[in-house]
């Protein structure tokens, strides 16, 4: 079990290093806060509203910055940082506002370089950071992160998932936002974490999925980590509950579970597309 987790981490790390190593992007250092993003999220497309040349230039800068940040995520734990980086190299989500600010700062710096290469008039017409503000474009990992956090507090990875939500309202108990039923099997105060971490496993027989939830004193979830994939549907799980609890669970499920699950499914596809 723990070995599986370790293997997952190792494989992710290998993939990340391979990806980073294959990149020809020159390192770009963003002053101040450093953040980390999964590499696949930096697959960027040219922006329709901009000239293709400008768009490519901007995307290349974003991609290079993303790669730089992701490489640094690999080094997490080896170096000290005063940023809000999550101290795990699996999936790291940084508040979109921070990232947007970073991007703007970076673009400000980059704009000076572009000035040398492009006509000043062109630069006055193009704001490189603008694409990240368009909610309909999945141009950057930051925009995706923003979407994910807005739509749901749960984000899946195939092997292991990490969610960082600063103001989650759904709890991690019996029927959480994902609609599955969980049983708590442990709790521990983890070093480096403000709040105790609770360990849950899916109550469905033979379902290997577990999740870890860190919750603040006021009950708000500060972090959720999913591990594994459900080998059953939610409906199957509902059917398996006892009749006495079924009524209670169905009421919860009918109330918010469906909506939240729909959001989750959207997030699943988003992550598969952008992170892996």
Partner DNA sequence: AGCCTTTGACCAGCG
Partner DNA sequence: TCGCTGGTCAAAGGC
- Which residues in this chain contact DNA in the complex, by CB under 7 A? 1-3, 5-6, 173-174, 181-188, 190-193, 197-199, 203, 210, 212, 242, 245
Pairwise CA distance, residues 199 & 153, whole Å: 17
Pairwise CA distance, residues 72 & 48, whole Å: 31
Closest CA to 18 of 39, 4, 35, 3: 39
Q: Rank residues 6 and 167 by Cβ distance to DNA and give the closer one.
A: 6
CB 204 within 8 A of CB 232: yes
User: What secondary structure letter does DSSP report for 48?
Assistant: T
Q: What is the 3-state secondary structure (H, E, C) of 2-20?
A: HHHHHHHHHHHHHHHHHHH
Torsion of CA 89, 90, 94, 99, to 10 degrees: 80
Pairwise CA distance, residues 25 & 43, whole Å: 13
Residues with Cβ within 8 Å of residue 12, at least 6 apart in sequence: 89, 90, 159, 160
Pairwise CA distance, residues 101 & 93, whole Å: 15
């Amino acid at each position: 079990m723990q070995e599986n987790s370790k293997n997952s981490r190792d494989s992710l790390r290998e993939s990340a290093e391979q990806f980073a190593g294959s990149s020809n992007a020159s390192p770009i250092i963003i002053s101040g806060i450093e953040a980390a993003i999964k590499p696949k999220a930096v697959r960027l497309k040219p922006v329709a509203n901009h000239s293709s040349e400008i768009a490519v230039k901007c995307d290349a800068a974003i991609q290079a910055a993303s790669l730089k940040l992701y490489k640094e995520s690999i080094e997490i734990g080896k170096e000290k940082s005063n940023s809000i980086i999550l101290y795990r190299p699996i999936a790291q989500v940084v508040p979109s506002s921070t990232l947007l600010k970073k991007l703007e700062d970076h673009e400000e710096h980059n704009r000076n370089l572009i000035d040398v290469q492009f006509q000043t008039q062109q630069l006055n017409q193009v704001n490189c950071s603008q694409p990240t503000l368009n909610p309909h474009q999945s141009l950057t990992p930051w925009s995706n992160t923003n979407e994910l956090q807005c739509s749901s507090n749960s984000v899946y990875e195939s092997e292991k998932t990490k969610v960082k939500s600063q103001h989650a309202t759904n709890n991690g108990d019996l029927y959480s936002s994902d609609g599955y039923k969980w049983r708590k099997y442990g709790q521990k105060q983890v070093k480096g974490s403000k709040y105790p971490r609770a360990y849950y496993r899916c109550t469905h027989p033979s379902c290997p999925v577990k999740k870890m939830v860190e919750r603040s004193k006021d009950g708000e979830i500060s972090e959720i980590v999913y591990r594994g994939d459900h080998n059953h549907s939610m409906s199957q799980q509902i059917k398996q509950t006892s009749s006495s609890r079924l009524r209670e669970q169905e009421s919860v499920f009918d109330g918010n579970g469906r909506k939240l699950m729909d959001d989750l499914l959207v997030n699943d596809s988003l992550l598969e597309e952008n992170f892996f």
